[in-house]
Structure 1
Amino acid sequence: MATAPKNNGLPLFYNQLEPLSSQQHANYKVRVADRAPFLVNEHAVPVTVEEFPLVQRRMPIVFSVGEDPVPLALMGLNEGVNTFIDADGRLIDPEVYVPAYVRRYPYMLARLRPDSEDLSLCFDPTADTIGEFEDGEPLFDGTEPSETTKQILQFNEQFEQAGQRTAMFMKEVKDLGLLIDGEVSIQPDGAEQPFIYRGFQMVDEKKLNELRGDQLRKIQQNGMLPLLYAHIFSLSLMRDLFARQVRAGMIAAQPTA
Structure 2
Amino acid sequence: MTFINKVIWITGASSGIGKAVALELSKYNCKLILSSRRTTVLNDVKNECLLPKNVEVLTLDLADYKTMTTVVTKAISFFGKVDILINNGGISQRSLIIDTDIEVDKKLMDIDYLGTIALSKALLPHFISQKTGHFVTVTSLMGKFSSPYRSAYCGAKHALHGFFDALRLEHEKDNIKVTMICPGFVNTNVARNALTGDGSIQNKQDHATENGLEVSVFAKRMLKAIKQEKFEVYIGKGETKGVYLKRFFPKLLHRIILRSKVR
Q: Structure 1 length normalisation: TM-score?
A: 0.23
- Whose RCO is larger (CA < 8 A, sep 6+)? 1
Q: Structure 2 length normalisation: TM-score?
A: 0.23
